[in-house]
Each structure stands twice: as structure tokens, then as C-alpha cells.
């Protein structure tokens, strides 16, 4: 925390204290005292944060904090005096069981959790089941079984965090760079046909900016059965986008490359801000005037991937897709900077209920 934020927080605490004191919870100044000045009270916690602030600034902030504390103590003892006086000499206790309780702040789900829940609802309705995965993966499930041979340049697209532990083959374990390993783990666990999805966290060694982070979230889907075709993928992707963004959106496929699908595609959705470029008087900043937003990777599961999981590619075919949850959340809630999703600022998080 920097000095400016600290000051803002102090003034927020003072403001909320003034409001509370103006409402005079007459029988219970003790509860107010505990809430603001107690050992784990708001002010005490803020004063504890001072340790993170450089020494030169800490002195001034400390003094401000102490003044606020003294003021609050004075107001509270005034209130206590008034309460005692009003209750008359017989009332020796602050306890009044007839008063309403101190309000608990109401929690809400994080926007990313909201989006993941909505996606889960949609895919459960389409007959997909929720599959499990793991955040620390081995090279085989994250790359090799997905048809990324060692040294294949496609690995470079996913700058990887390796950890100290080694897998059974002696290769370093890693933080999964995408949710696609869940495809492999699901096929290893279950014989075809299979229809699964998974949402969860992934990690890449990337600098954080408005649209990148070293940890983010993805959704993955996989459907393998007899006679599954690209047409099934197109229908599913279209239904998925319409469920999330409304029935007016259109989808289109562009050819693309991912080692674990053939053919591979990028799935675009018509821009929800300029309505696919219709009536665009000026260039839409979100889709850069193209009328389309790139939302997912997808394709028909590569025969090598099926074979590796002991699924006979002559008999079974399937489609897979994957996309970023942050991107969905940003579009759905009109968030322009991804970092807002990670800063835990209640003013932002409370807007999604």
C-alpha cells in the first residue's frame, strides 16, 4: 500500500465512524468501540499496515492515525456518558438485548466465479459433465500428450513456470499453462463416448498489464463420440456464446493452429459494443473496428491425441475448445483493465452481485 491509499483508507474509516456515531447506537457504544478501535478493529488494522510504508512517510501517517484515534475515543466516551445519563443511575451495563444486531457486511461472489458458474450452468444443460484437473502438471499432460513434441516451437507460445519437483520421467513439473491437460486426464480416466468441461486457473510467465497476467482462468471443453464433426463444434460454440452474451450475437470460425487439433480454429463473436460494426459512426475501440472479437481456440481433436489416450481415431472423433474466463468477464461487465479483477477493491467487486 502507498501513502496516498493509506490516507484514503483512513479518511474512509473516519467517515464511516462519523456516520455510525451520528446514528448513536445509544445502548451499545461498546460495539462501536470494538469495531473501530478494538485490537482487530478497522483503525488498528490500518495502523498495522503502516509497516509496509517507507519510514519518511510513516511518521506523518502515524501522527494522522493517532489524531484520528484520539478523536474517535473522545467521541465514544462522550457517547458513553450520554448513554449512562439517559439510562439513569440504575443502568450499570451496556447490554441491551432488545437492540438490533451489528450489521454483518454482506459477501458476494467474485466476478470470475460468477462467470465460471454461468458457464458451468450452460454446459451442464448441454449434457457436459464437470471434469477435474490439477494446477501442478507434468510435461506429458501439459504438452507431450497434446501433441507438442519436446522442442516444438508451439511450446514457446506458453512461457512456462517450472517448479523444483520432478515427474516420474525425471522431467521438471510445471504450473499448467492451459486447461487442455484436463482433456488428456479425462480420456485416461474414462472410455468414450465422453463430454466434459472444466474451468480453472492457469499460469504463464508473463508481465502483468491491462490484458495479461501470470495467473488467469480458462474454460476447456471436450466431446468425443462416434461421428462428431466440425458442425457439432460450430453449433456448440454458437449456443455457448448466445447463452452468455445474448441471442443476437453471431459467431464465425477462422483457421488457426494448435498442435492438439486438426483442423484448428479461432472462434470469433460479433462485437457486442458496436453490434458487429453495424451503424459504427467511429472505429470501435474494443474490436478495433473489425466488428469481431476473438474469444476461443477450438478444433477437431488430433488423431495423435486420441491414440495417445487409447481412443481409436478410426472409430471415434471429437472436438475441443478453450478460452479465457477473464476476457468473458471483461466483456460481460464492461471492465477495461484486467488488473481490476485482482485488486480486491470492493467498490469494483460489489458491482457484480
Q: Which residues bind ligand DAH (CB under 6 A)?
A: 178, 180, 220, 258, 261, 297-299, 320-322
Residue closer to ligand DAH by CB (options 79, 261) is 261
Q: Determine contact, residues 193/224, Cβ cutoff 8 Å.
A: yes
Residue closer to ligand DAH by CB (options 41, 324) is 324
Write down the least CB distance from residue 230 to ligand DAH, Å: 12
Cell numbers that stand for 5 in this block? 491509499
Write down the least CB distance from residue 138 to ligand DAH, Å: 17
Residue closer to ligand DAH by CB (options 180, 186) is 180
Residue closer to ligand DAH by CB (options 48, 307) is 307
Cell numbers that stand for 210 in this block? 491491462
Residue closer to ligand DAH by CB (options 75, 178) is 178
Write down the least CB distance from residue 322 to ligand DAH, Å: 3
Inter-axis angle of helices 230-245 and 111-125, nearest 10: 130
Q: Determine contact, residues 118/155, Cβ cutoff 8 Å.
A: no
Cell numbers that stand for 216 in this block? 488467469
Please tell me the distance from the alpha carbon of residue 72 to that of residue 62, in angstroms, as a whole number: 15
Which residue spans within the chain are E strands per DSSP?
129-130, 136-137, 162-166, 172-175, 194-203, 215-225, 251-256, 261-270, 292-301, 317-324
Write down the least CB distance from residue 257 to ligand DAH, Å: 9
Residue closer to ligand DAH by CB (options 203, 321) is 321
Residue closer to ligand DAH by CB (options 116, 284) is 116
- CB within 8 Å of 70: residues ≥ 6 apart: none
Please tell me the distance from the alpha carbon of residue 279 to that of residue 108, in angstroms, as a whole number: 37
Q: Determine contact, residues 269/249, Cβ cutoff 8 Å.
A: yes
Please tell me the distance from the alpha carbon of residue 19 to that of residue 32, in angstroms, as a whole number: 11
Q: What angle do CA 207, 219, 121 make, to 5 degrees?
A: 140
Write down the least CB distance from residue 258 to ligand DAH, Å: 4
Q: What angle do CA 111, 143, 172 make, to 5 degrees?
A: 95
Residue closer to ligand DAH by CB (options 65, 192) is 192
Residue closer to ligand DAH by CB (options 138, 220) is 220
Write down the least CB distance from residue 196 to ligand DAH, Å: 11
Partnered with residue 129 across adjacent β-strands are 196
Write down the least CB distance from residue 260 to ligand DAH, Å: 6
In the sheet that holds 162-166, the strands lie side by side as 136-137, 172-175, 162-166
Amino acid at each position: 500500500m502507498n501513502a496516498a491509499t493509506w490516507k484514503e483508507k483512513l479518511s474512509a474509516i473516519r467517515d464511516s465512524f462519523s456516520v455510525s456515531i451520528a446514528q448513536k447506537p445509544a445502548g451499545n457504544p461498546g460495539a462501536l468501540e470494538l469495531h473501530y478501535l478494538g485490537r482487530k478493529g478497522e483503525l488498528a488494522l490500518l495502523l498495522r499496515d503502516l509497516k509496509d510504508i517507507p519510514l519518511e512517510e510513516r511518521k506523518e501517517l502515524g501522527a494522522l492515525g493517532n489524531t484520528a484515534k484520539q478523536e474517535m475515543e473522545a467521541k465514544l466516551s462522550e457517547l458513553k456518558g450520554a448513554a449512562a445519563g439517559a439510562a439513569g443511575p440504575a443502568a450499570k451495563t451496556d447490554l441491551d438485548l432488545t437492540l438490533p444486531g451489528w450489521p454483518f457486511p454482506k459477501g458476494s461472489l467474485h466476478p470470475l466465479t460468477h462467470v465460471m458458474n454461468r458457464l458451468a450452468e450452460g454446459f451442464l444443460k448441454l449434457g457436459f459433465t464437470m471434469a477435474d484437473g490439477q494446477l501442478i502438471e507434468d510435461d506429458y499432460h501439459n504438452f507431450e500428450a497434446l501433441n507438442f513434441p519436446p522442442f516444438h516451437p508451439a511450446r514457446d507460445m506458453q512461457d512456462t513456470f517450472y517448479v523444483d519437483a520432478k515427474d516420474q520421467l525425471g522431467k521438471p513439473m510445471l504450473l499448467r499453462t492451459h486447461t487442455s491437460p484436463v482433456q488428456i486426464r479425462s480420456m485416461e480416466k474414462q472410455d468414450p463416448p465422453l463430454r466434459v468441461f472444466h474451468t480453472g486457473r492457469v499460469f504463464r510467465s508473463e508481465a502483468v498489464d491491462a490484458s495479461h497476467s501470470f495467473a488467469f482462468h480458462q474454460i476447456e471443453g471436450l466431446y468425443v463420440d462416434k461421428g462428431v464433426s466440425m458442425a457439432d463444434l460450430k453449433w456448440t460454440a454458437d449456443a455457448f456464446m448466445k447463452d452468455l452474451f445474448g441471442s443476437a450475437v453471431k459467431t464465425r470460425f477462422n483457421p488457426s493452429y494448435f498442435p492438439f487439433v486438426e483442423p484448428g480454429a479461432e472462434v470469433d463473436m460479433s462485437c457486442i459494443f458496436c453490434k458487429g460494426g453495424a451503424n459504427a459512426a467511429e472505429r470501435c475501440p474494443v474490436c478495433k473496428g473489425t466488428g469481431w472479437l476473438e474469444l476461443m481456440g477450438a478444433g477437431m481433436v488430433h488423431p495423435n491425441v486420441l491414440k495417445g489416450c487409447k481412443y481409436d481415431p478410426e472409430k471415434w472423433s471429437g472436438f475441443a475448445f478453450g478460452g479465457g474466463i477473464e476476457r468473458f468477464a471483461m466483456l460481460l461487465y464492461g471492465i477495461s483493465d484486467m488488473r481490476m479483477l485482482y485488486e480486491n477493491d470492493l467498490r469494483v467487486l460489489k458491482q457484480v452481485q
